[in-house]
């Protein structure tokens, strides 16, 4: 069996025009696409409509401090918990920027420890007292307060605390009375700040 033979015929005018129209149409749209792409750094603020640039259209880390005008970002524009301690420059938050009663010991670098004071002091004398304070570091500022619900002896005076070694706050407990003072389980709170 012989294979059928196809005779090449001369292209018709309509076929040539259709093929040319196809190539021109495809080439024209490619030119249109390439001519609509802006040159790098050629689009300025005036050329952008309001609200045209949204978060999904920005590359990661595309906006840095150099692109933000001074005082452009205020507290109302920052999402809750978006800025943490690592996102703040040293000394960038001062007391003026902190709302009254908005900080607790948990917000500061320090410790808060509940303890019990047990001490016997002779009349008109002082004795050293030590408190174990987990997490306290040498040189930390330390404060003592009395816990609610405990009766504080009138003749008892405790000196300012110091943290000379890690984990230990020390002070002097003094008895101003003319007789011996015995303190058992007086509730105190030790707060340290670094």
User: In this structure, is residue 24 part of a structural domain?
Assistant: no
pLDDT digits (tens, 9 = 90+) for 159-172: 999 999 999 999 99
User: pLDDT at residue 108 above 60?
Assistant: yes
Q: Closest Cα partner for 115 from 99, 129, 98, 94?
A: 129
**pTM score, two decimals?**
0.49
pLDDT-derived band at 153, boundaries 50, 70, 90? very high
Distances (CA, A) of 21 to 15, 27, 31, 32, 48: 10, 10, 15, 16, 36
Query: 3-state class of 110 per DSSP?
Result: strand
Percent of the chain whose predicted confidence (pLDDT) is above 70: 89
pLDDT score, position 119: 94
CATH of the domain at 184: 2.70.40
| Number of separate domains in the chain | 1
pLDDT digits (tens, 9 = 90+) for 81-91: 887 777 788 88
User: In this structure, is residue 75 part of a structural domain?
Assistant: no
User: In this structure, is residue 163 part of a structural domain?
Assistant: yes
User: pLDDT at residue 174 above 80?
Assistant: yes
User: In this structure, is residue 174 part of a structural domain?
Assistant: yes
User: In this structure, is residue 41 part of a structural domain?
Assistant: no
| Better-predicted residue by pLDDT, 105 or 118 | 118
User: In this structure, is residue 136 part of a structural domain?
Assistant: yes
User: In this structure, is residue 116 part of a structural domain?
Assistant: yes
User: In this structure, is residue 124 part of a structural domain?
Assistant: yes
For residue 170, the enclosing domain spans 108-193
Query: 3-state class of 45 per DSSP?
Result: helix
């Amino acid at each position: 069996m012989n294979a059928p033979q196809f005779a090449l015929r001369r292209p018709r005018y309509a076929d040539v025009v259709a093929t040319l129209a196809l190539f021109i149409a495809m080439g024209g749209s490619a030119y249109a696409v390439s001519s609509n792409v802006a040159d790098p750094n050629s689009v300025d603020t005036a050329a952008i409509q309001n609200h045209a640039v949204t978060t999904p259209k920005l590359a990661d880390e595309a906006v840095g401090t150099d692109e933000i005008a001074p005082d452009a970002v205020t507290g109302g524009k920052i999402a809750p918990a978006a800025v943490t301690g690592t996102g703040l420059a040293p000394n960038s938050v001062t007391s003026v920027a902190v709302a009254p009663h908005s900080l607790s010991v948990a917000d500061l670098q320090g410790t808060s420890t509940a303890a019990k004071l047990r001490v016997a002091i002779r009349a008109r004398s002082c004795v050293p007292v030590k408190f174990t304070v987990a997490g306290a570091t040498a040189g930390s500022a330390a404060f003592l307060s009395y816990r609610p619900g405990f009766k504080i002896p009138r003749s008892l005076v405790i000196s300012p605390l110091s943290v000379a070694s890690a984990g230990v706050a020390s002070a002097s407990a003094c008895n101003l009375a003319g007789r011996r003072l015995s303190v058992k389980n007086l509730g105190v709170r030790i707060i340290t700040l670094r």
